[in-house]
C-alpha cells in the first residue's frame, strides 16, 4: 500500500496547535489523490469511499477538471460581480439547459446557496403579499413562516442552522430567527395541519443526508408540492448533498416527478472547488433585483470554469451508467459483508450514497469504524452516531469498489475481534 514517503513540512499534531478546535480530523493527512485513491504524507494509499462528504463527484484530479482549472487559472480568476464573466454565464446556461431553472445565483457553499434561497422566499412574499401599500409595508409580509423538517441539515450560517432540524447546531447562538417551524419528515398530515396563508416556503432535502441517507417518499414530495401550490408558498429542494448526480439523475427531483420552485446545489457541483448555486424560475428570480442580495466570490470565474467541466462529465450517459452499476456492486458487497458480520439493521442506498444503520448494540459508535478503516487504508464517513455513510466518486471503478469492500471486510473483522477481546471470558461463557 505504501508507495512513497515524501518530505512533510507539517504534521497532524500541528493542526491542534494552530487551528480552531471545531474539527477532529483523522490521524493522517492526505496529500495526493487520483480517481478514488488517496495517498497520505507517508505514501500510504487509501480507497476513498467518503468522497470528501459527497463532494469529489468525479474523483480526485480528473484530467478534464484539472485542465479546465489550469486553463482558466492562466486567463482570469476573479473580477467580482461588478463585471460579468464568461465561465459563470456558461455554467448558468448549462444548469438552465439541464434543469427546470431559468435563472441561477452563484454562491460559495451549500449554506450560502440555502441562505439565498431562504432570503429569496421571504422577500418574494414581501413582493407578492406585502403587509400594506405603504413603502415600509411593501418590505414586510405576514407571510413569513418557513417550514422545515426534523433532523434536516441546511448548513451552518445562523439562518440555516435555525432552519435545520437538528437543535445541537443552533443551540447557544440565540436569539434565534423567528417564524420557523420544524415538522416530522415524511409526515404529510403534519404539514397539512400547519400550513396556512402565513407560510412562505417549505424547504426539504429529497434525501436527508446528514441524518443517515433517508429518502423522502414520493407521496410526501408530491403532497408538499400540492400544499405549496394551494397556499402560494415556495417549495425549496435542498439538493446540496443529493444533487450533482449523487442519487443517479443529475438532481434527485428529476426522479421524483416533482419540480421545486427553488433548488440549491453545491458539494459535488464543484467536485472539490468551493461553489454553490441557487436555481429558480424567471418570475421568482425577479425579486432579487439589483442590490437585494450578493456575494463577492459568488460566480467566481475560476470556480465556475471548474464546475462547468464537472457538470459536463456528470451529465454524460456513461456517468449515469457507472452510478447504476457501481451502486449495485457496492450494495451487493455490503449486503454480503452484513451476512457475515450482522452489523447493520438497514442498508439504504440512493444512488452512490449509502447509509448503513448499525444494530442497536453499536449505536453511538459509528466513529470507531472510521478510525479502524484508516488503519486499513479505507476512507468512510458517518452520519450521526449510528450510521456509516459512503459517498464515493460517481466515476469510481469496479476495481476500486472491490478493493474497498475487501478492506471493509478487514475493518469489520478487526472491530468485532477487538469487541470480543474486550468482553471478559466469564461473560462470553455465561
Ligand atoms: C443538505 C445539505 N445542505 C446544506 C449543506 C451545507 O453545505 P456547506 O457545508 O457547503 O455549507 C450540507 C452539508 O453537508 C448539506 O448536506
- What pLDDT score does 4 carry? 53
303 shares its domain with 335: no
What mean pLDDT do residues 234-248 have? Answer: 98
Residues 170 and 192 in one domain: yes
Inside any domain, residue 37: yes
C-alpha dihedral sign at 166, 169, 174, 179: negative
Domain end (from 268, 290, 314): 314
Residues 273 and 245 in one domain: yes
Name, in order, each residue with C-beta under 8 angstroms of 158's C-beta and a sequence gap of 6 or more.
170, 173, 176, 177
Q: Summarize pLDDT for 298-307 with one digit per residue, the tens.
A: 999 999 999 9
pLDDT digits (tens, 9 = 90+) for 106-136: 999 999 999 999 999 999 999 999 998 788 7
Q: Tell me how far the alpha carbon of residue 298 is from its chain's centroid.
A: 18
Ligand 1 midpoint to CA 130 (Å): 31
- State which of 245, 280, 314 marks the end of a domain: 314
pTM of the shown model: 0.96
Whole-angstrom distance, CA of residue 110 vs CA of residue 249 = 19
The residue whose grid cell reads 416533482 is 258
Single out the residue of 318, 325, 379, 380 nearest to residue 64, CA to CA: 318
- pLDDT recorded at residue 134: 80
Q: Are residues 188 and 278 in the same domain?
A: yes
What are the pLDDT digits (tens) for 374-383? 999 999 999 9
> Same domain for 156 and 101?
yes
Quote the pLDDT of residue 430. 43
Strand-pair partners of 180: 146
d(CA 371, CA 99): 39
Q: Are 102 and 280 in contact (CB under 8 A)?
A: yes
Q: What angle do CA 263, 268, 271 make, to 5 degrees?
A: 140
Q: Which of 254-268, 393-407, 416-430 has the lowest mean pLDDT?
A: 416-430
Asked whether 238 lines ligand 1 (CB < 6 A), one says yes
18-24 average pLDDT score? 97
The minimum-distance atom of ligand 1 relative to the CA of 156 is 11
Give the integer Cα–Cα distance in Å for 161 and 177.
10
Q: Residue 326 corresponds to which cell in the numbers above?
A: 457501481
Grid coordinates given for 215: 429518502
Q: CB-based contacts of 378: which residues, under 8 Å, 6+ apart? A: 46, 47, 49, 404, 407, 408, 411
The answer to whether 312 touches 319, Cβ cutoff 8 Å, is no
Residues 376 and 285 in one domain: no
Over residues 156-162, the mean pLDDT reads: 98
Residue 169's CATH number: 3.40.640.10
For residue 138, name the pLDDT band (cuts at 50, 70, 90).
confident
CB atoms within 10 A of CB 97: 10
Burial, 430: exposed, middle or buried (Cβ in 10 Å; 0-12, 13-18, 19+)? Answer: exposed
The C-alpha atoms of residue 429 and residue 2 are separated, in whole angstroms, by 41
Tell me if 388 sits within 8 A of 366, measured CB to CB: yes
Per-residue pLDDT averaged across 393-418, rounded? 98
CATH number for the domain harbouring residue 36: 3.90.1150.10
Question: Ligand 1: distance of its center to the CA of 59 in Å?
Answer: 19
C-alpha span between 271 and 314 (Å, rounded) = 10
pLDDT grade, residue 155 (50/70/90)? very high
**Contact between 79 and 304 (Cβ < 8 Å):** no
Contact 92, 107 (CB under 8 A): no
Domains: count for the chain: 2
DSSP for residue 271: B
* Cα(244)–Cα(184) distance, integer angstroms: 26
Of 128-142, 153-167, 411-425, the range with the highest mean pLDDT is: 153-167
Compute, in angstroms, the gap from residue 144 CA to the centroid of ligand 1.
23
User: To the nearest whole number, what is the mean pLDDT of the chain?
Assistant: 96
Nearest alpha carbon, ligand 1 atom 16: 241
pLDDT of residue 426 exceeding 90, the answer is no
Q: Is the CB of 209 under 6 A from ligand 1?
A: yes
Average pLDDT over residues 45-60: 98
Q: Give per-residue pLDDT as tens, 139-149.
A: 999 999 999 99
- Is ligand 1 within 6 A of the CB of residue 110? yes
310 and 323 housed in the same domain:
no
CA of 43 to the centre of ligand 1 (A): 31
Question: Which pLDDT score is estimated for 423?
Answer: 75
Q: Give the range of the structural domain holding residue 266, as residue numbers without chain letter.
A: 76-314
> Is the CB of 154 within 6 Å of ligand 1?
yes
pLDDT in tens, 64-98: 999 999 999 999 999 999 999 999 999 999 999 99
Is 2 contained in some domain? no
Which of residues 269, 289, 314 is at a domain's end? Answer: 314
Per-residue pLDDT at 114: 98
| pLDDT for the residue numbered 348 | 97
Amino acid at each position: 500500500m505504501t508507495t512513497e514517503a515524501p518530505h512533510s513540512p507539517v504534521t497532524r499534531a500541528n493542526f491542534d496547535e494552530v487551528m480552531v478546535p471545531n474539527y477532529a480530523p483523522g490521524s493522517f493527512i492526505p496529500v495526493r489523490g487520483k480517481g478514488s485513491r488517496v495517498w497520505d504524507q507517508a505514501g500510504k494509499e487509501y480507497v476513498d469511499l467518503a468522497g470528501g462528504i459527497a463532494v469529489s463527484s468525479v474523483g480526485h484530479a480528473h484530467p478534464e477538471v484539472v485542465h479546465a482549472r489550469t486553463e482558466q487559472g492562466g486567463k482570469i480568476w476573479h473580477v467580482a460581480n461588478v463585471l460579468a464573466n464568461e465561465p459563470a454565464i456558461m455554467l448558468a446556461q448549462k444548469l438552465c439547459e439541464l434543469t427546470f431553472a431559468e435563472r441561477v445565483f452563484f454562491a460559495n457553499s451549500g449554506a450560502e446557496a440555502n441562505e439565498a434561497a431562504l432570503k429569496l422566499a421571504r422577500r418574494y412574499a414581501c413582493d407578492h403579499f406585502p403587509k400594506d401599500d405603504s413603502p415600509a409595508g411593501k418590505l414586510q409580509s405576514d407571510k413569513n413562516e418557513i417550514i422545515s423538517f426534523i433532523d434536516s441539515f441546511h448548513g451552518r450560517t445562523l439562518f440555516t442552522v435555525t432552519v435545520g432540524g437538528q437543535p445541537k447546531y443552533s443551540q447557544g447562538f440565540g436569539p434565534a430567527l423567528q417564524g420557523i417551524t420544524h415538522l416530522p419528515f415524511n409526515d404529510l398530515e403534519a404539514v397539512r395541519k400547519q400550513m396556512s396563508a402565513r407560510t412562505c416556503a417549505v424547504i426539504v432535502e429529497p434525501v436527508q443526508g446528514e441524518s443517515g441517507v433517508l429518502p423522502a417518499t414520493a407521496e410526501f414530495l408530491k403532497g408538499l408540492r400540492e400544499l405549496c401550490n394551494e397556499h402560494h408558498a415556495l417549495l425549496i429542494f435542498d439538493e446540496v448533498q443529493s444533487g450533482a448526480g449523487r442519487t443517479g439523475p443529475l438532481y434527485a427531483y428529476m426522479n421524483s416527478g416533482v419540480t421545486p420552485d427553488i433548488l440549491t446545489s453545491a458539494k459535488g457541483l464543484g467536485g472539490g472547488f468551493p461553489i454553490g448555486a441557487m436555481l429558480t424560475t424567471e418570475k421568482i428570480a425577479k425579486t432579487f433585483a439589483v442590490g437585494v442580495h450578493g456575494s463577492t466570490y459568488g460566480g467566481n470565474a475560476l470556480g465556475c470554469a471548474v464546475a462547468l467541466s464537472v457538470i459536463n462529465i456528470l451529465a454524460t450517459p456513461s456517468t449515469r451508467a457507472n452510478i447504476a452499476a457501481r451502486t449495485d456492486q457496492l450494495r451487493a458487497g455490503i449486503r454480503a459483508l452484513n451476512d457475515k458480520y450482522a452489523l447493520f439493521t438497514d442498508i439504504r442506498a440512493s444512488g452512490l450514497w449509502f447509509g448503513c444503520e448499525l444494530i442497536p448494540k453499536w449505536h453511538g459508535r459509528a466513529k470507531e469504524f472510521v478510525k479502524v478503516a484508516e488503519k486499513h487504508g479505507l476512507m468512510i464517513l458517518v452520519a450521526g452516531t449510528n450510521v456509516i455513510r459512503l459517498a464515493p466518486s460517481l466515476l469510481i471503478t469496479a476495481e476500486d469498489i472491490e478493493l474497498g469492500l475487501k478492506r471493509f471486510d478487514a475493518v469489520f473483522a478487526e472491530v468485532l475481534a477487538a469487541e470480543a477481546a474486550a468482553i471478559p471470558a466469564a461473560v462470553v461463557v455465561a
